[in-house]
Amino acid sequence: MAKGYGNRGFGGMGGMNMNMIKQAQKMQQDMLKMQQELQEKEYSASAGGGMVTAVVTGKHEVKSLTIQPEAVDPDDVEMLQDMVVAAVNEALRAADADASSTMSQLTGGMGLPF
């Protein structure tokens, strides 16, 4: 065995490696907890000046959809459809932005994919 590379690891660096492993494990636990919390959160967005409101979860599930009666025009169903799509998409974007921001804070901006 080469001199200086005994049971202590590479030149006594074993303690530093264990510390890094512990930090990585803590970060992983924190990330899992944060992901669970994000999935349980609700995000709301409106379209058409509040005529349509969508609420989604962090799991990208539509929780509710509210349509004001005056938004329903039998002669212009396409406008209502567009407002529904816009409200749902905006709520989903809010959920994604919150998840991205929260994970970035947790990882210190390391740019890890989630």
Model pLDDT, residue 83: 97
Domains of the chain listed by start with CATH number: 14-107 (3.30.1310.10)
Asked if residues 42 and 53 have their Cβ atoms less than 8 Å apart, the reply is: no
Residue linked to tokens 């989903």: 92
The confidence score (pLDDT) of residue 13 equals 54
Parallel/antiparallel/unpaired status of strands 42-47 and 62-67: unpaired
Element (H, E) at 38: helix 14-40
In the prediction, which pLDDT does 113 show?
55
**Percentage above 90 pLDDT, the chain:** 51
What is the band of 82 on the pLDDT scale with cuts at 50, 70, 90?
A: very high
Q: What is the structure's pLDDT at 91?
A: 97
- 109 pairs with which residues across the strands? none
- Say if residues 16 and 24 touch (Cβ distance below 8 Å): no
Distance, CA of 87 to CA of 56 (rounded, Å):
10
pLDDT digits (tens, 9 = 90+) for 23-65: 888 888 888 888 898 889 999 999 999 999 999 999 999 999 9
pLDDT at position 66: 97
- What pLDDT does 104 receive? 82
